[in-house]
Structure 1
Amino acid sequence: MRSVAVAGASGYAGGELLRLLLGHPELEVGAVCAASQAGSLLGAVHPHLMPLAERRLEAADPALLARHDVVALALPHGASAPLAAQLPDHVVVVDCGADFRLEDPAAWEAFYDTPHAGAWAYGLPELPLEAGSGRGRDALAGATRVAVPGCYPTATTLALAPGFAAGLLEPDDVVVVAASGTSGAGKGLKPHLLGAEVMGGMSPYGVGGVHRHTPEIEQNLSRVAGAAVTVSFTPTLAPMPRGILATCTARAVPSATADEVRAAWESCYAAEEFVHVLAPGRWPRTADVLGSNQVQVQVALDERTRRVVAVAAIDNLTKGTAGAAVQAINLALGLPEGLGLPTVGVAP
């Protein structure tokens, strides 16, 4: 058994990571750490984690974290880099925040208010790379520093990547509108996330190309396409606790046919355990991936406008964060990639 310490264990992402670790046959929960909640019993913060209810949250002391095989950082953006710098090289560190996702310092500085800390191995195993040069998982085997993708980039990248990998999409007119549940904004109290404000309505935010996940989506799709991809990304807030539904469109190359489009998506994900292209006529629903590490994808070619429409549904806390972290940990430690990860959702 390898021990995993979780820093930021009191938040939604940290709680989801603990849930998955409790069911993992090769990993055990080590220190559970938090900042403002340090000293509290975990059961008071996450009542659903009954096996850990009597564990006490501790401060995220680097010396404590360094005694573990793996450290998972479920911290606010900007908080991971200073802590990670104090951990020894042999410890596997998986960051669920944004600190190490972006390769371009200029892109980081345009969207974040802290210095660029560098880029780690990017934790999206299913990402097809340019010209058939492998998948994202190739960089994760044996890695000791991994950046977990953002939840929106996971859904949008996996929705569109097959088309760019097959050369069926134009890179300069990609439009994404994605809806997320409220847990994507974290556990901190915010007036606009109160039940009375959210229930019964949807609202956009981060409009006009300012959402911080935009450069990450562009980075991913550019790696697949082998050329710069530009994305117009608009997120929306949906009245549900968890889940993302990403509707993504891009112009098809003039020669693309509907059959070629479908074949590209099916062949791209045929061997993937967690990404499923649905049968024709079925469209992804967030309810069908709730609590699972699955990605449901559907694609169609709009013949009239010559745009490909790709839709993906994920659980933002599982495949969108904690499940991706466990996938990365498995690969880093040489374990089967899907070990300990749920492949079925919860219904109704």
Structure 2
Amino acid sequence: MRIVIVSNLFPPDIGGPATYVPRIAQELQARGHLVTVVGGSPPGHDPRTDRDAWPFSVHRVSRGLPLPIRLLVALWVLLKTAWRADCLYVQGLSGPEMVAVLFAWVLRRPVVLKTVGDNAWEYAIRLQLTDDGIVEFQTGSYGWQVSAVRAMVRWFARRVTRLIVPSHFLGGLVQGWGVDRTSVRVVTNALTTRVASEAERLQARSTVKYELGRSGPFIVTVARLYPWKNLDVMIRLVPKFPPLATLIIIGDGPERKRLEMIIQREGLSRRVVLTGGISHAETQRYLMAADAFVLNTRYEGLSHVLLEAMGAGAPSAVSNVGGNPEVIRDEENGLLFEVDDRTGIAHAMARLLGDRELSERMRRQASVDVKAYRWPVLVEQTARTLEEAAGVRRPA
């Protein structure tokens, strides 16, 4: 089967899709499918570096181009690569990915869309047009601009053959957009690292403490620096955390300068570390060194980094939204709190850092539970969905 994967993010980009796409492409290729990737690239990326880097064909659409030209380039690349495709596998609904869905719909090609959230809600949050959560946003009124984007996202979602989501929560959400429930497939994210040993955790903790020159406990969070990740709230809560605790924020994004200003203004430069974008291996090292992991986000489809924190042995406390409560059972394998509940977050950190018996019990349970999120299962479910969309029947 000829599969074209379309993603706005692809290495050297970082983030979930940039990690996921190369891995799933290689897995599908290993199953005998002919895979081509149409990937976005940062300004200045030399596409010649892709020629021998991957076991599949890669075609680039530069994000350095003005949007109208970028969309035309995406269409031209799709005409070259996807004209005879048996199925398109589209990662989200940014501009070039919308072109891919429209291309498939017009030419009546099977297309599978993987979505991990609501692009219209993220758009409204970025432009500060709403502070509502993703659930309230579905029926709220926010003016013509947001209404137009929301209608467009839902129109595109209804035009795909199959729609993959990472959680049952999101599956219910997209059905509210008018997507037929028979088209929705829940394929949960998977742990792509192995569960860390106690020796690895001790080594990581010792190394990170030495590198940072800190002796107290570490509270780690990992996120792209977007408004809905609510990292400003976490920074301002640091004085309420146990003494000597350091908050380590791993990630980069448009909120970085604002967060740096908050850290300076609040006088917290000795208690908050912004690492910026670092490698996946480095992120794993910080997670293994963590005394606690926290996510105070307004939405998560099903967090990759939460699974990785559980596998790394970091006792976790996360907001009770989206797919988080599908992974974390409160008081069993982690703690749940309401978004921006400052008292609840501070209390959770005090418990994880101060009650060793509690944190150890939940950490051990999490390391068992996370093994259910297996990569081979994700690959099988994804391959089956693509084949089903393309009308490919497997031998009985």
Q: Which has the higher helix share?
A: 2
Higher RCO (C-alpha under 8 Å, 6+ residues apart): 1
* Greater strand content: 1
Give the TM-score of the pair, scaled to structure 2: 0.35
Q: Calculate the TM-score normalised by the size of structure 1.
A: 0.39
The structure number with the bigger radius of gyration is: 2
